[in-house]
Amino acid sequence: MINRININVPFSEKDEAKKRGAKWDAKNKTWYIIEGTNLNNFDRWIQHFPTIRAKGYSLAETEMSCWKCKKQTLVYAIFLEEYEYCSTEELWYWEKVDIPSFVSYVDHLDYMAAAHIKSISKNSYYLDYSKHMNTKYYLNHCSNCNMKQGDFSVHEDNPGKGFCISNIEQLKKIKFYKYYESIELIGETSINSVLIDFF
């Protein structure tokens, strides 16, 4: 993959961005700049530095009971078999990570992935404000009562439930929608031995 950063250019500023060297990615409907570009020329359009990218991904779907109404609801997460990680201190360096992981606390997703997720989740997994985190990130919402299902509960605090994987049977119940296209996002990965053994 080419080292690149997606930038957020309003339609009215596209000629200016192009003049400065930005390129257009028609498939993902985004402007971007490639490694070696002087970032200072693009300050006003750089909103997010992606920290994770992968050549393919899955959207994972599983059932969990809502903490509020106690009824069963579907919850979603992005799953990566392998990915590359970039720290904001070393912007153009991407480290390859061979560890399968669900991604939690996603607060930025590229256009195509966001569109797939919206459709598969029937718009129940979307950017919303979390009081607990005091920021917006992609949150699951109960299909019965629409209550937010925070990632602490879906990914961390309930062993054997949701994406807090504690055994292989739990993993086998998860449905994976696989996409053979690249993804860029900002979120958190983790290390889980059940996942490592299975994939």
Interface residues toward Zn ion, by CB under 5 A: 66, 68-69, 142, 144-145, 147
φ, ψ dihedrals at 45, nearest 5°: -105, -10
If the CB atoms of residues 68 and 118 are measured against Zn ion, the closer one turns out to be: 68
SS3 helix, strand, coil % of the chain, rounded to 5? 20, 35, 40
To Zn ion, the closest distance from the beta carbon of 73 in angstroms equals 6
If the CB atoms of residues 1 and 69 are measured against Zn ion, the closer one turns out to be: 69
141-162 exposure pattern, b = at least 16 Cβ within 10 A, e = fewer: bbeeeeebbbbebbbeebeebb
In angstroms, the CA 102 to CA 79 distance is 4
To Zn ion, the closest distance from the beta carbon of 139 in angstroms equals 13
**Encoded amino acid at 69, one letter:** C
If the CB atoms of residues 65 and 170 are measured against Zn ion, the closer one turns out to be: 65
If the CB atoms of residues 31 and 138 are measured against Zn ion, the closer one turns out to be: 138
To Zn ion, the closest distance from the beta carbon of 114 in angstroms equals 24
To Zn ion, the closest distance from the beta carbon of 77 in angstroms equals 18
